[in-house]
Amino acid sequence: MKINKLIAEFVGTGTLASTVVGSGIMATSLTKDVALQLLIVATATVFILAVLIQMLAPISGAHFNPAVSIIEYLNKGISAKKLSLYVIAQTFGGVVGVIIANAMFDLPGIQSSQHERSSAALWLGEVVATAGLILVIQIVGDQKKGRYVPFAVAGWIGAAYFFTSSTSFANPAVTFARSFTDTFAGIQLGSVPAFIAAQLIGAGAGLLIAKNLKNDK
């Protein structure tokens, strides 16, 4: 496998994580209105997702998300070796992206988030957000050679910021990375495993729904 694919996953996931965290820090410095803060973060995330997917999809497939890579593996789109390397690149990329975001705002590069996010309602939010993400990718990816995937994925994540209780993390690598910032977008490390478990359950549900929707027999 060419190294440029891993670099694309590293850079893409890192940029995504940096955008989520950086826009959150900027938002809290601009306004005390939590709704407006969330709108700022959601808007930045929507734009960067569309750009990154459009730019890097021809190189690596623009997964930027272990849940997406796992589903691609289950669909026999990538090998087990490629899956493991992608997940490593995504995880390290996400952490580096968060460190850079912290540093850009003159904060310690590595922090320990104190934002506890632990409840059944939040876990359900992650199941829904991730299931929808996988469903969008699986269905829209089959339409018009996937040309609308960047906008569909960005649109789903942007919407899910506002209609899910968890504000749509929907990404194990970025979830883990966000435990390294004690800012608006942070999540306590102890809350991470349950979030990731919920995301993987959601990914499986999304794949199951997509397969049934595409079953024309």
Q: Is pLDDT of 203 > 60?
A: yes
Q: Is the pLDDT of residue 1 over 90?
A: no
The domain of 113 spans 3-214
pLDDT tens, 100-155? Answer: 999 999 999 999 999 999 999 999 999 999 999 999 999 999 887 789 999 999 99
The pLDDT value given to residue 214: 86
| pLDDT at residue 50 is higher than 80 | yes
Condensed to tens digits (0 to 9), the pLDDT of residues 74-86 reads 999 999 999 999 9
Tokens of 145: 């050679």
In this prediction, residues 57-72 reach a mean pLDDT of 97
- Position 30 pLDDT exceeds 90: yes
Distances (CA, A) of 141 to 86, 111, 152, 153, 189: 20, 37, 9, 10, 33
Q: Tens digits of per-residue pLDDT, 175-198?
A: 999 999 999 999 999 999 999 999
Residue 78, classed as helix, strand or coil, is coil
Q: What's the whole-model pTM score? A: 0.95
Helices (H), the chain: 3-30, 34-60, 66-74, 80-104, 120-140, 149-163, 172-177, 192-214
Read off the CATH number of the domain in which 208 is found.
Answer: 1.20.1080.10
Residue 216 banded pLDDT, cuts 50, 70, 90: low
Confidence tier at 73 by pLDDT (50, 70, 90): very high
At 204-214, the pLDDT tens digits run 999 999 999 98
- Residue 158 confidence (pLDDT): 97
Per the rule left: phi > 0, alpha: psi between -120 and 50, beta: everything else, 141 is: alpha
Whole-number average pLDDT of the chain: 96
Condensed to tens digits (0 to 9), the pLDDT of residues 157-176 reads 999 999 999 999 999 999 99
Number of domains in the chain: 1
What percent of the chain lies above the pLDDT cut of 90? 94
